[in-house]
Amino acid sequence: MTSKQRAYLKGLAMNMEPIFHIGKASLTPEITEAVREAIDVRELIKIAVLKNCDDDPKEIAEVLAERTGSQAVQVIGKKIVLYKPAPDPKKRKIELPEEKKKR
């Protein structure tokens, strides 16, 4: 993912509300599965890590990205943004800016 594409996704996520809150129990299999299902439908999701969670948000983002096949777009404070394009290009809701061709 290019920096331009990452900036575009950050802009889209700026106005989003978190759809998951990770708390004291941290990452459970249920949370991971729910995130996988949500990201398959929405493509871009925001997750909040609550103050009572002892785990580092960056580590949580890496683990979630690995387990869901997504990419961590950004981690700011206790907010995580994940992106995973739909497998079928015709069903994609988010069109990323094209990469510039090098000459």
pLDDT given at position 101: 58
- Total structural domains in the chain? 1
pTM listed for this prediction: 0.88
Residue 1, pLDDT > 70, answer yes
Q: Tell whether 95 is covered by a domain.
A: no
Please state the length of the chain. Answer: 103
Q: Tell whether 94 is covered by a domain.
A: no
Query: Which of the 8 DSSP states describes residue 15?
Result: T
Q: Which run of H or of E encompasses 30?
A: helix 29-42
Q: Tell whether 100 is covered by a domain.
A: no
Closest of 60, 84, 58 to residue 71, by C-alpha: 84
Confidence of residue 100 (pLDDT cuts 50, 70, 90): low
Averaged pLDDT score across all residues of the chain: 90
Residue 99, pLDDT > 80, answer no
* 25 SS3 class: coil
Residue 15, pLDDT > 80, answer yes
Closest of 63, 55, 68 to residue 24, by C-alpha: 55
CATH of the domain at 28: 3.30.110.60
Domain range enclosing 77: 3-85
**Tell me: the pLDDT tens digits for 53-97?**
899 999 999 999 999 999 999 999 999 999 999 888 788 888 888
